[in-house]
């Protein structure tokens, strides 16, 4: 409920930046800034969660999320956009880590984290489904104000959360570590799908279909809504499979299928390619935190590192994608990244130990 505004912003801004007087380059900066800010915030957020209490910090973050959502309807200057996006980065980082910690309290971590991902995706699905309709019928301030008011109910839900305890860790222990091969691949996946592909949806659709700006916005909304729907529908399945066969194995298989979808997009078969990519990207992200978790005692450290490297990939992808927003080189870009992603997966599977364990345990990667 707290992420309604942010979800719709990814559909609205790339299709309407000219009308808002925002240069194309700044679209990528605005959309990626919350992710770049999380690179510095995730460790501090994890420290605050274990120091001040997960419930208390989550309530505060939910309030910040509602304020940023309402602000999207009224800000008109680049500096204000940047400040609001940093605020959302703070809120999202807290809510994401908190949700994972709550989910991993269950003995079946796979199915629990899968259902957690599924419920989280429900709000954005609604936002992306009704957002284009609201924008066309009313205006930007009304739409984001409505999303903010709906999101305000999330504050009430946050107050209803149970109090839980996690192992205490120091700020130094929560500093970002050099990425394991697993987290390198997580960052690569996020770079392509969560970053570049989301920003370049308008270019992908314009290259393959003759659509006006209103139809483009509706098509982007549909694609982003389907991305969330795939999280909603397939995350529990991915979690169940992870409990049965191991988080890392499911992560690798879904990465292979995701690359196949990217290759279809790159060759001009855009709609089937987008559906395949978003389907298996949702399953991939659902099992990613479990693949990163080594022991319950390191839960905040492991999920914080995994979240940060995902943010690094998606932020760089968003920024890189904006550079191709007004160029005819969208398809060649995806050809190149699909080849590079395949190489990264091959490196990961050959260098990392083949210890595919059931349940929440995984092989612990060590850089030579």
Cα separations in angstroms, 276 against 28, 189, 330, 339: 24, 14, 18, 17
Quickly tell me which residue has 């995994």 as its tokens.
306
3-state SS track over the chain: CCCHHHHHHHHHHHHHCCCCCCCHHHHHHHHHHHHHHHHHHHHHHHHHHHHHCHHHHHHHHHHHHHHHHHHCCCCCCHHHHHHHHHHHHHHHHHHHHHHHHHHCCCCCHHHHHHHHHHHHHHHHHHHHHHHHHHHHHCCHHHHHHHHHHHHHHHHHHHHCCCCCCCCCCCCCCCCCCCCCHHHHHHHHHHHHHHHHHHHCHHHHHHHHCCCCHHHHHHHHHHHHHHHHHHHHHHHHHHHHHHHHHCHHHHHHHHHHHHHHHHHHHHCCCHHHHHHHHHHHHHHHHHHHHHHHCCCHHHHHHHHHHHHHHHHHHHHHHHHHHHHCCCCCCHHHHHHHHHHHHHHHHHHHHHHCCCCCCCCCCCCCCCCC
- For each of the domains in the chain, give its residue range(s) and CATH number, in order of start: 4-351 (1.20.1250.20)
Please list the pLDDT of the chain residue by residue as tens digits (368 residues). 898 888 888 878 877 888 888 887 788 788 878 877 877 777 788 888 888 888 899 999 999 999 999 999 898 888 899 999 999 989 988 998 888 888 888 778 788 888 888 888 888 788 878 888 888 888 888 899 999 988 888 999 999 988 887 766 666 766 767 777 888 888 889 999 988 888 888 778 776 676 666 677 777 778 877 887 888 888 889 888 988 888 888 989 999 999 999 999 888 888 889 999 999 998 898 888 877 776 666 777 777 788 888 888 888 888 888 788 777 788 888 889 889 889 888 888 877 654 433 333 343 333 33
pLDDT at 67: 94
The residues near 247 (Cβ < 8 Å, ≥ 6 apart) are: 110, 287, 290, 291, 293, 360, 362
**Cα separation, 280 vs 261, whole angstroms:** 9
In whole angstroms, give the CA distance from residue 332 to residue 330.
6
pLDDT at residue 257, as a whole number: 94
- Does pTM surpass 0.85? no
> In this predicted structure, what is the pLDDT of residue 359?
38
The token pair at 291 is 């693949």
| Cα–Cα distance, 38 to 60 (Å, whole number) | 17
């Amino acid at each position: 409920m707290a992420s309604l505004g942010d979800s719709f912003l990814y559909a609205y801004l790339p299709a309407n930046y000219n009308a808002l007087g925002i240069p194309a380059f700044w679209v990528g900066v605005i959309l990626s800034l919350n992710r770049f800010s999380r690179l510095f915030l995730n460790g501090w957020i994890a420290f605050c969660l274990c120091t001040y209490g997960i419930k208390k910090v989550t309530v505060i973050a939910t309030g910040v999320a509602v304020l940023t959502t309402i602000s999207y309807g009224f800000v008109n200057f680049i500096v204000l956009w940047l400040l609001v996006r940093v605020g959302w980065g703070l809120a999202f980082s807290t809510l994401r880590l908190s949700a994972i910690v709550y989910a991993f309290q269950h003995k079946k971590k796979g199915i629990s984290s899968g259902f957690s991902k599924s419920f989280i995706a429900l709000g954005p699905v609604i936002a992306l489904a009704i957002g284009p309709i609201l924008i066309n019928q009313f205006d930007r301030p009304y739409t984001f104000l409505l999303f903010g008011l709906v999101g305000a109910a999330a504050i009430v839900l946050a107050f209803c959360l149970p109090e839980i305890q996690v192992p205490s860790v120091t700020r130094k222990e929560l500093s970002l570590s050099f990425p394991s091969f697993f987290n390198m691949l997580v960052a690569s996946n996020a770079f392509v799908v969560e970053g570049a592909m989301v920003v370049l949806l308008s270019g992908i659709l314009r290259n393959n279909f003759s659509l006006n700006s209103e139809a483009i916005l509706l098509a982007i909304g549909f694609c982003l809504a389907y991305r969330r729907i795939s999280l909603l529908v397939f995350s529990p399945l991915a979690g169940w499979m992870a409990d049965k066969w191991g988080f890392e194995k499911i992560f690798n298989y879904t990465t292979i299928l995701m690359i196949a979808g990217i290759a279809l997009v790159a060759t001009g078969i855009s709609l089937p390619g987008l559906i395949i990519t978003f389907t298996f990207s949702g399953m991939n992200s659902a099992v990613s935190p479990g693949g990163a978790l080594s022991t319950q005692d390191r839960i905040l450290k492991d999920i914080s590192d995994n979240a940060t490297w995902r943010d690094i990939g998606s932020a760089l992808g968003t920024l890189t994608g904006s550079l191709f927003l007004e160029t005819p080189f969208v398809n060649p870009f995806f050809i190149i990244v699909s080849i590079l992603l395949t190489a990264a997966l091959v490196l990961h599977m050959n260098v990392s130990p083949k210890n595919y364990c059931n349940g929440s345990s995984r092989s612990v990667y060590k850089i030579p």
